[in-house]
Amino acid sequence: MRRRSWWPALRAAIRDLSTGYFALVMTTGIVARATSLDGASRLSGFLLRTGIVACVLERAGARPQRPLWASTGVKDPAYDDTRYVTGLVAPSVINTMPEATLNAVADHGDIPADSIHGTYEQSQAVLDDLAALGIGYDDVVQTLEDQGVTAFDASWDHLGQRLATALGTPGR
């Protein structure tokens, strides 16, 4: 494992904070080592909840990752045309959207400061209700991922064909 320049500072900070537990923070996330699984779980959760890891990394020069909501246009005309923008607001989140959605948000969107935090219980209840109906979260996510990859591949191919035509070169 190649260690980053911030590794020693982070390692020392975590040792100081963990009262005997030790957590390794790598680019892929947290792997906690402790005298018990429960202790490791508590430590990792504490570090994530309190933002200690992010603070140490930021002070050492790391740039934070930011969640990205991609292509948040509404497909169902029964829904409000700003639904997937106003309903997905949180600090440090990036939201890309089609031009029609951008125009709708500019025209009549009511943007809250944060529409995500504090909704865990409600969201979990919806997932539980769907599971009770036989709709599996993992299946839905896999289907959406497959459809998204297919759509992006088609869009990429179309762009390549348009560029080839504009440049007067044979298509891909």
Query: 15 is written with which tokens?
Result: 């040792």
Nearest-Å Rg of the Cα atoms of the chain is 22
* Band (132; pLDDT cuts 50, 70, 90): very high
Q: By CB neighbour count within 10 A (0-12 exposed, 13-18 middle, 19+ buried), where does 69 fall?
A: middle
Tell me the pLDDT tens digit for each residue of 67-115.
Answer: 888 877 888 999 999 998 898 888 888 888 888 988 999 999 998 888 8
Check whether 123 has a pLDDT greater than 70.
Answer: yes
Whether the per-residue pLDDT at 129 is higher than 90: the answer is yes
Write the pLDDT tens digit of every residue in 35-46. Answer: 444 444 455 555
- Whether residue 34 contacts residue 44, with contact meaning beta carbons closer than 8 Å, is answered with no
